[in-house]
Amino acid sequence: MNTKLLSALTATAVATALLGAGSPAQAFSFGTNGITFANNTDVKFNFKESHGGYTSSLGIYSVGSVTSLVSTLFSETKSSDNGDQNEWKGSLGNTVLGSGTAVFTFLANQVYTLGLNSGDGGTVYSTSALNAGTQQAVFGGSSLWTALGRETTNAFQAAGSYTNGTASLSNGGTLISFDDRGGGNDADFQDFTVSAEAVPEPITMTGLALGLGGLVAARRRRASKTV
């Protein structure tokens, strides 16, 4: 095989691998109707801040005949940074310790939900059907966080407009914010806020080799037909 042909095939294989492996698997559902992926998918969560009076923790739950905790993402060590200051604000490094980042692998075709456990305040889920039908979480684009600076009371009063983060999960990430039923279920959706973004699959040499092998085989078939 001449050098020019080999170079062209290699470049094409690299481009194919980049396009195929550089983008994360698309979510079938990532919102208030539940979380389900068609393929195993890594999602990175980042803690933003909290404004609830409870000492809460956010986790991922599997949904089946029973709903069970499979992974804790973030836990508060106290209810807020400084009592009721700034609407019970809790920040990273003070109320929530650690890096503020967690990655979870959602397995293909399994049903999940996010759950905010607030001790005496109980647990609310990002899937509305698990809250007796009430919406306790909103899925908004990352632009909402940029525009607001932080979550404030009444920021998500139009909660019904923010029910699906599927489209933005792979395009800059989505913001997820909970209401913990405190304050008479005030529905301000600022008690615990995180961002979520799908992690792109790494480019592998195996994928590159398969792509190159396929192109070479196709070239040989065309040459054989010509002869």
Span 82-108, pLDDT tens digits:
999 988 999 999 999 999 999 999 999
In a domain, 208, yes or no: no
Of the ranges 70-74, 112-116, 213-217, which one carries the lowest mean pLDDT score?
Answer: 213-217
In a domain, 87, yes or no: yes
- Evaluate if residue 143 carries a pLDDT over 50: yes
Say how many domains are in the chain: 1
56, 119, 150, 205, 214 from 115: Cα distances, Å? 10, 12, 21, 38, 45
**Can you tell me the distance from the alpha carbon of 94 to that of 87, in angstroms, rounded to the nearest whole number?**
15
Residue 68 lies in domain: 22-198
Strand blocks (E) in the chain: 27-31, 34-37, 41-50, 57-63, 67-75, 101-106, 112-117, 123-125, 137-141, 174-178, 192-198
Model confidence band, residue 172 (pLDDT cutoffs 50, 70, 90):
confident
Report pLDDT for 1: 52
Report pLDDT for 181: 84
In a domain, 63, yes or no: yes
Mean pLDDT score, 156-172:
81
In a domain, 6, yes or no: no
In a domain, 2, yes or no: no
In a domain, 35, yes or no: yes
Report pLDDT for 23: 46
Report pLDDT for 217: 60
Residue whose structure tokens are 């919406």: 135
- Evaluate if residue 192 carries a pLDDT over 90: yes
Task: Tell me the per-residue pLDDT of 45-67, one tens digit each, with 9 for 90 and over.
Answer: 999 999 889 999 999 999 999 99
- Cβ-based neighbours of 189, under 8 Å, separated by 6 or more: 137, 138, 151, 155, 156, 159, 177, 178, 179
Percent above pLDDT 70 for the chain:
67
Report pLDDT for 86: 87
Model confidence band, residue 199 (pLDDT cutoffs 50, 70, 90):
very high
- Helix (H) and strand (E) counts for the chain? 5, 11
7, 85, 108, 125, 158 from 138: Cα distances, Å? 49, 24, 23, 11, 10
- Evaluate if residue 68 carries a pLDDT over 90: yes
In a domain, 5, yes or no: no
- Cβ-based neighbours of 119, under 8 Å, separated by 6 or more: 54, 55, 56
In a domain, 223, yes or no: no
Report pLDDT for 218: 60
Task: Indicate the pTM of the whole model.
Answer: 0.76
